[in-house]
Amino acid sequence: MNKYKSMIFHFEGADKTGKDAVRNLIIKKTGGNALVLVRSYLSNLVYAKLYERKIDVNFFFNHLTAASLRGDKFVVFTVSRDVASKRFIEHDEQDIKIEDFEEHQNAFLDYAQGLKTVGVETLVIDTSEKTPEETADTILNHYYD
């Protein structure tokens, strides 16, 4: 019997913080009992703010809080600028400039802090010195142990 019950995770964070690498490990380690969404409600809110997009903020916020109430788990990934710079080069990042990285990351952290004030637990993980495997284990230990 798989020790991991079914769970939905929302992975959020700026580019090159490790979301995709960890997603695959979480799914594998839980034997498929985890649904992992990368860039969901929180990303819509963050990028609408950063790029001045006109969205229905209440729609995304209400769905985010409803997801939290039903047991979905929110994780925000961070990484140091130095490590992000290396990852940008390794992955030939084209979607964001390293000069904009900190603004993006800070926007996610600001929202994560704000969500805590309304009762939405958001686990923040710095992947600067963790392998994807260690990060996945940190998440699983946090939510399953």
Residue ranges covered by each domain of the chain: 7-138
Percent of the chain with pLDDT over 70: 99
105-114, long-range: CB within 8 Å, 24+ apart, which pairs? 105/13, 105/14, 105/17, 105/78, 105/79, 107/46, 107/49, 107/50, 108/12, 108/13, 108/14, 108/42, 108/46, 108/76, 108/78, 109/76, 109/78, 111/42, 111/45, 111/46, 112/12, 112/42, 112/74, 112/76
Tens-digit pLDDT profile for residues 56-96: 999 999 999 999 999 999 999 999 999 988 888 887 777 78
Mean pLDDT, rounded, for 96-110: 91
pLDDT at 87: 86
Query: For domain 7-138, is the CATH number 3.40.980.10?
Result: no
